[in-house]
Amino acid sequence: MTIDHLSGGRLILGIGVSGPQVVEGWYGQPFPRPLERTREWVQIFRAMIAREQPVEFHGRHYDLPLQGGAGLGKPLKLIN
């Protein structure tokens, strides 16, 4: 969001599923159902940039805010 704002709306975002070597080897995350994960991510991203309300999402792959953890997570909204 910051780069898009600073560039006057000229940012072009490319997204993709990457590959199991990177996802499992570098990020330490499993690589099941990559297209389903990407669809969830796109839903979350669209909600973030719409800035209509704090983002809350509970899907098969992503759970925002994280339930459990340190217990400090809360739905957030972009401010720029």
| 60 band by pLDDT with thresholds 50, 70 and 90 | very high
**pLDDT higher than threshold 90 for residue 21:** yes
Q: Specify the pLDDT at position 80.
A: 77
Q: How far is the C-alpha of 6 from the C-alpha of 13, rounded, in Å?
A: 14
Note the pLDDT tens digit of each residue in 32-45: 999 999 999 999 99
pLDDT band, residue 1 (cuts 50/70/90): confident
Residue bearing tokens 């940039």 = 49
C-alpha 19/C-alpha 25 separation (Å) is 10
pLDDT of residue 69: 85
What pLDDT, on a 0 to 100 scale, did the predictor assign at position 59?
A: 96
